[in-house]
Amino acid sequence: MAFSEIKAAAVITFFLRQANGTLNDLKLMKLMYFAEREAIRVRNVGIVEDVYFALPRGPVLSATLNLIRDEPAEAGEAESVLRQHVQIDKDWQVTIKDCVEPEAQLSKRELAILQATWDANKDKTKWELVYESHELPEYMDPNGSSHEITFAAILKGLGYEGDALESRLKEWRSYREAV
């Protein structure tokens, strides 16, 4: 499966609904990364299937963050699917603009992962989540820059090694080639 912008919008909508309609983009990105990581642990594939990057404030879903932070389309230009559904203000607060129904885009298992991620992190500040994300084994400080966090690095961070790691990687590659 490739990156799904509509699923990214559905995940964002899910978290925004839980937070009464608004979240700081930094906290949202950490929630999304933690949910992706848990989905990889549970089912060997992410929910959004984004590309994961290490930034100075921790891991992010790169394409999702870029789409959120893109300038709104000018008159006559097509808006990205994600920007049709969410907006970000000058204080980096993300809000719902046009609702994507998460239940229509996400499986029950994915929704359960999102709910568990929210329940475990809803009372934490964005800075607490940044600190926790810096403690993840796959995160290496990019020293002011950025670098990709590979799927293999996430699996290693989740404790897979040797034959178990190779088996999960082989399964993941087969899945990606099939879709």
pLDDT greater than 60 at residue 104: yes
Give every CB contact of residue 144 below 8 A, 6+ residues apart in sequence: 56
pLDDT in tens, 117-129: 999 999 999 999 9
Structural domain harbouring 128? 5-178
Q: CB 80: neighbour CB atoms within 10 A?
A: 18
pTM for this one?
0.88
Dig out the tokens for 114 from the structure. Answer: 């999102």
pLDDT greater than 70 at residue 177: yes
How many CA atoms are closer than 13 Å to the CA of 138, on its beta-carbon side?
22
pLDDT above 90 covers what percent of the chain?
Answer: 60
The burial class, CB within 10 Å (0-12 / 13-18 / 19+), for 169 is: middle
Q: How many domains does the chain have?
A: 1
Q: How far is CA 103 from CA 13, 113, 179, in A?
A: 10, 13, 22
Largest CA-CA distance found in the chain, in angstroms, rounded: 54
CA angle 9, 13, 75 (to 5 degrees): 55
- Identify whether the C-beta of residue 126 lies closer than 8 Å to the C-beta of residue 30: yes
